A and B are shown apart, each in its own frame.
Chain A
Amino acid sequence: MNIFRLLGDICHLVAIIVLLLKIWKTRSCAGISGKSQILFALVYTTRYVDLFFTYVSLYNSVMKVIFLASSYATLYLIYVKFKATYDFNHDTFRIEFLLIPCVILSLLITHDYSPVELLWTFSIYLEAVAILPQLFMVSKTGEAETITSHYLFALGAYRALYIVNWIYRYYTESFIDGIAVVAGIIQTILYADFFYLYITKVLKGKDFKLPA
Protein backbone atom coordinates (compact mmCIF):
# COMPACT_ATOMS: atom_id res chain seq x y z
CA MET A 1 0.00 0.00 0.00
CA ASN A 2 1.27 3.46 -0.84
CA ILE A 3 -0.17 6.94 -0.40
CA PHE A 4 -1.38 7.19 -4.04
CA ARG A 5 -3.36 3.97 -3.87
CA LEU A 6 -4.79 4.89 -0.46
CA LEU A 7 -5.85 8.32 -1.76
CA GLY A 8 -7.30 6.64 -4.85
CA ASP A 9 -9.34 4.25 -2.74
CA ILE A 10 -10.52 7.12 -0.55
CA CYS A 11 -11.62 9.08 -3.65
CA HIS A 12 -13.45 5.98 -4.86
CA LEU A 13 -15.18 5.59 -1.52
CA VAL A 14 -16.05 9.31 -1.38
CA ALA A 15 -17.55 9.12 -4.90
CA ILE A 16 -19.82 6.22 -3.94
CA ILE A 17 -20.90 7.85 -0.67
CA VAL A 18 -21.55 11.21 -2.38
CA LEU A 19 -23.79 9.48 -4.93
CA LEU A 20 -25.72 7.51 -2.32
CA LEU A 21 -26.17 10.58 -0.10
CA LYS A 22 -27.26 12.75 -3.03
CA ILE A 23 -29.98 10.29 -3.98
CA TRP A 24 -31.03 9.70 -0.38
CA LYS A 25 -31.11 13.36 0.71
CA THR A 26 -32.87 14.70 -2.38
CA ARG A 27 -35.10 11.59 -2.61
CA SER A 28 -34.28 11.68 -6.31
CA CYS A 29 -31.93 10.08 -8.80
CA ALA A 30 -32.50 12.73 -11.48
CA GLY A 31 -29.44 13.17 -13.67
CA ILE A 32 -27.94 9.82 -12.66
CA SER A 33 -27.47 7.12 -15.26
CA GLY A 34 -28.88 3.86 -13.94
CA LYS A 35 -27.10 2.13 -16.80
CA SER A 36 -23.67 3.26 -15.60
CA GLN A 37 -24.62 2.04 -12.13
CA ILE A 38 -25.63 -1.36 -13.54
CA LEU A 39 -22.23 -1.56 -15.24
CA PHE A 40 -20.40 -0.63 -12.02
CA ALA A 41 -22.32 -3.28 -10.07
CA LEU A 42 -21.26 -5.77 -12.75
CA VAL A 43 -17.65 -4.53 -12.49
CA TYR A 44 -17.52 -5.11 -8.72
CA THR A 45 -19.35 -8.44 -8.93
CA THR A 46 -17.02 -9.89 -11.54
CA ARG A 47 -13.83 -8.48 -9.97
CA TYR A 48 -14.56 -9.35 -6.37
CA VAL A 49 -15.60 -13.00 -6.76
CA ASP A 50 -12.06 -13.56 -5.47
CA LEU A 51 -13.40 -12.57 -2.04
CA PHE A 52 -14.30 -16.26 -1.75
CA PHE A 53 -10.94 -17.59 -2.96
CA THR A 54 -8.14 -15.28 -1.91
CA TYR A 55 -7.45 -13.26 1.20
CA VAL A 56 -5.20 -10.21 0.80
CA SER A 57 -5.87 -8.14 3.93
CA LEU A 58 -8.72 -7.04 6.15
CA TYR A 59 -8.61 -3.62 4.41
CA ASN A 60 -8.90 -5.28 1.00
CA SER A 61 -11.83 -7.52 1.98
CA VAL A 62 -13.73 -4.77 3.82
CA MET A 63 -13.39 -2.35 0.88
CA LYS A 64 -14.57 -5.01 -1.56
CA VAL A 65 -17.64 -5.71 0.55
CA ILE A 66 -18.35 -1.95 0.81
CA PHE A 67 -18.05 -1.45 -2.96
CA LEU A 68 -20.29 -4.43 -3.67
CA ALA A 69 -22.93 -3.52 -1.09
CA SER A 70 -23.01 0.17 -2.03
CA SER A 71 -23.31 -0.55 -5.75
CA TYR A 72 -26.35 -2.76 -5.17
CA ALA A 73 -27.79 -0.23 -2.72
CA THR A 74 -27.44 2.44 -5.43
CA LEU A 75 -29.24 0.21 -7.93
CA TYR A 76 -32.01 -0.38 -5.41
CA LEU A 77 -32.47 3.36 -4.89
CA ILE A 78 -32.56 4.07 -8.63
CA TYR A 79 -34.67 1.17 -9.87
CA VAL A 80 -36.92 0.50 -6.88
CA LYS A 81 -37.19 3.14 -4.17
CA PHE A 82 -36.90 6.31 -6.26
CA LYS A 83 -37.83 4.78 -9.60
CA ALA A 84 -40.35 7.60 -10.26
CA THR A 85 -37.49 10.12 -10.36
CA TYR A 86 -35.28 8.07 -12.68
CA ASP A 87 -34.66 9.99 -15.88
CA PHE A 88 -34.88 7.03 -18.28
CA ASN A 89 -35.66 9.27 -21.26
CA HIS A 90 -32.14 10.63 -21.14
CA ASP A 91 -30.45 7.37 -20.14
CA THR A 92 -30.44 5.87 -23.61
CA PHE A 93 -26.88 4.61 -24.04
CA ARG A 94 -26.88 1.06 -25.45
CA ILE A 95 -24.82 -0.86 -22.90
CA GLU A 96 -24.51 -3.93 -25.13
CA PHE A 97 -22.13 -1.82 -27.24
CA LEU A 98 -19.83 -1.80 -24.21
CA LEU A 99 -20.54 -5.25 -22.79
CA ILE A 100 -19.97 -7.27 -25.96
CA PRO A 101 -16.59 -5.71 -26.88
CA CYS A 102 -15.45 -6.10 -23.25
CA VAL A 103 -16.34 -9.81 -23.29
CA ILE A 104 -14.52 -10.31 -26.59
CA LEU A 105 -11.47 -8.30 -25.51
CA SER A 106 -11.17 -10.18 -22.21
CA LEU A 107 -11.15 -13.46 -24.16
CA LEU A 108 -8.46 -12.12 -26.50
CA ILE A 109 -6.17 -10.27 -24.08
CA THR A 110 -5.87 -11.87 -20.65
CA HIS A 111 -3.09 -13.04 -18.35
CA ASP A 112 -4.61 -16.48 -17.93
CA TYR A 113 -7.63 -18.49 -19.07
CA SER A 114 -8.97 -19.36 -15.64
CA PRO A 115 -12.57 -18.32 -14.85
CA VAL A 116 -11.56 -15.96 -12.02
CA GLU A 117 -8.83 -14.34 -14.12
CA LEU A 118 -11.20 -13.90 -17.09
CA LEU A 119 -13.81 -12.28 -14.84
CA TRP A 120 -11.13 -9.98 -13.41
CA THR A 121 -9.96 -9.00 -16.90
CA PHE A 122 -13.54 -8.37 -18.03
CA SER A 123 -14.12 -6.19 -14.97
CA ILE A 124 -11.02 -4.10 -15.70
CA TYR A 125 -12.10 -3.48 -19.32
CA LEU A 126 -15.69 -2.78 -18.33
CA GLU A 127 -14.69 -0.37 -15.57
CA ALA A 128 -12.71 1.67 -18.11
CA VAL A 129 -15.89 2.44 -20.06
CA ALA A 130 -18.64 2.04 -17.45
CA ILE A 131 -18.99 5.80 -17.00
CA LEU A 132 -19.87 6.39 -20.68
CA PRO A 133 -23.68 6.11 -20.20
CA GLN A 134 -23.39 8.74 -17.44
CA LEU A 135 -21.22 11.06 -19.56
CA PHE A 136 -23.59 10.50 -22.49
CA MET A 137 -26.50 11.51 -20.28
CA VAL A 138 -24.68 14.68 -19.15
CA SER A 139 -23.88 15.56 -22.77
CA LYS A 140 -27.51 14.95 -23.76
CA THR A 141 -28.97 17.22 -21.11
CA GLY A 142 -26.00 19.63 -21.34
CA GLU A 143 -25.70 19.98 -17.59
CA ALA A 144 -25.07 18.19 -14.31
CA GLU A 145 -26.05 19.10 -10.78
CA THR A 146 -23.07 20.32 -8.74
CA ILE A 147 -23.23 17.27 -6.47
CA THR A 148 -23.26 14.96 -9.52
CA SER A 149 -20.17 16.73 -10.84
CA HIS A 150 -18.43 16.19 -7.47
CA TYR A 151 -19.30 12.51 -7.78
CA LEU A 152 -17.85 12.32 -11.28
CA PHE A 153 -14.70 14.19 -10.26
CA ALA A 154 -14.00 11.87 -7.31
CA LEU A 155 -14.68 8.80 -9.45
CA GLY A 156 -12.32 10.02 -12.19
CA ALA A 157 -9.63 11.10 -9.72
CA TYR A 158 -9.59 7.59 -8.22
CA ARG A 159 -8.23 5.94 -11.36
CA ALA A 160 -5.90 8.86 -12.09
CA LEU A 161 -4.37 8.31 -8.63
CA TYR A 162 -4.08 4.61 -9.40
CA ILE A 163 -1.93 5.48 -12.43
CA VAL A 164 0.47 7.36 -10.14
CA ASN A 165 0.38 4.31 -7.84
CA TRP A 166 1.31 2.03 -10.76
CA ILE A 167 4.25 4.26 -11.71
CA TYR A 168 5.36 4.21 -8.06
CA ARG A 169 4.98 0.42 -7.83
CA TYR A 170 6.91 -0.04 -11.06
CA TYR A 171 9.91 1.77 -9.62
CA THR A 172 9.72 0.48 -6.04
CA GLU A 173 8.50 -3.13 -6.54
CA SER A 174 9.05 -3.73 -10.28
CA PHE A 175 5.34 -4.45 -10.29
CA ILE A 176 3.42 -3.83 -13.49
CA ASP A 177 0.11 -5.12 -14.80
CA GLY A 178 -0.21 -4.09 -18.44
CA ILE A 179 -3.94 -4.80 -18.64
CA ALA A 180 -4.80 -2.65 -15.62
CA VAL A 181 -2.45 0.15 -16.71
CA VAL A 182 -3.72 0.48 -20.29
CA ALA A 183 -7.37 0.21 -19.22
CA GLY A 184 -6.76 2.68 -16.38
CA ILE A 185 -5.20 5.22 -18.73
CA ILE A 186 -8.14 4.92 -21.14
CA GLN A 187 -10.55 5.24 -18.22
CA THR A 188 -8.84 8.43 -17.03
CA ILE A 189 -8.73 9.93 -20.55
CA LEU A 190 -12.52 9.51 -20.80
CA TYR A 191 -12.84 11.91 -17.86
CA ALA A 192 -10.44 14.50 -19.31
CA ASP A 193 -13.11 16.78 -20.83
CA PHE A 194 -15.11 16.54 -17.67
CA PHE A 195 -12.08 17.36 -15.46
CA TYR A 196 -11.41 20.47 -17.54
CA LEU A 197 -14.97 21.77 -17.18
CA TYR A 198 -15.09 20.82 -13.51
CA ILE A 199 -11.93 22.76 -12.70
CA THR A 200 -12.78 25.80 -14.84
CA LYS A 201 -16.45 26.01 -13.77
CA VAL A 202 -17.59 24.04 -10.73
CA LEU A 203 -14.57 24.89 -8.56
CA LYS A 204 -15.22 28.57 -9.33
CA GLY A 205 -18.76 28.23 -8.05
CA LYS A 206 -20.50 28.08 -11.41
CA ASP A 207 -22.95 25.42 -12.55
CA PHE A 208 -21.71 22.52 -14.63
CA LYS A 209 -23.03 23.37 -18.08
CA LEU A 210 -21.61 22.23 -21.37
CA PRO A 211 -20.68 24.97 -23.83
CA ALA A 212 -23.49 25.47 -26.36
Chain B
Amino acid sequence: HENKAPKDEL
Protein backbone atom coordinates (compact mmCIF):
# COMPACT_ATOMS: atom_id res chain seq x y z
CA HIS B 1 0.00 0.00 0.00
CA GLU B 2 1.44 3.32 -1.09
CA ASN B 3 0.82 6.30 1.15
CA LYS B 4 -0.85 9.23 -0.48
CA ALA B 5 1.93 11.67 -1.25
CA PRO B 6 1.82 15.02 0.51
CA LYS B 7 0.76 17.74 -1.92
CA ASP B 8 3.15 20.46 -0.86
CA GLU B 9 4.50 21.10 -4.37
CA LEU B 10 3.02 23.39 -6.99
A residues with CB within 8 A of B: 5, 9, 12, 50, 54, 56-57, 60, 63-64, 67, 111-112, 117, 120, 162, 165, 175-180
Shortest distance between the CB of A96 and any CB in chain B (Å): 27
Question: Which of B4, B5, B9 lies in contact with A162, CB distance below 8 A?
Answer: B9
| Chain A, residue nearest B9 (CB) | A5
Would B4 and A117 count as touching, CB distance under 8 A?
A: yes
Q: A6 to B5: give the CA distance in the assembly, Å.
A: 19
Q: A50-B7, A57-B8, A175-B6 are in contact. List 19 more A-B contacts (CB 8 A).
A: A5-B9, A12-B10, A54-B7, A56-B7, A56-B8, A60-B8, A60-B10, A63-B10, A64-B10, A67-B10, A111-B4, A111-B5, A112-B4, A120-B7, A165-B9, A175-B5, A177-B5, A179-B5, A180-B9
Q: A98 to B5: give the CA distance in the assembly, Å.
A: 25
Shortest distance between the CB of A198 and any CB in chain B (Å): 23
Task: List the B side residues contacting A180 at CB < 8 Å.
Answer: 5, 9
B residues with CB within 8 A of A: 2, 4-10
**What secondary structure prevails in chain B residues at the interface with A?**
loop
Shortest distance between the CB of A50 and any CB in chain B (Å): 6
Q: How many A-B residue pairs have CB under 8 A?
A: 29
Q: A57 to B5: give the CA distance in the assembly, Å.
A: 17
Q: A64 to B8: give the CA distance in the assembly, Å.
A: 11
Q: A32 to B6: give the CA distance in the assembly, Å.
A: 34
Q: A165 to B10: give the CA distance in the assembly, Å.
A: 12
Listed A/B pairs (9) with beta-carbon separation below 8 Å: A50-B7, A56-B7, A57-B8, A67-B10, A162-B9, A175-B5, A176-B5, A178-B2, A179-B5
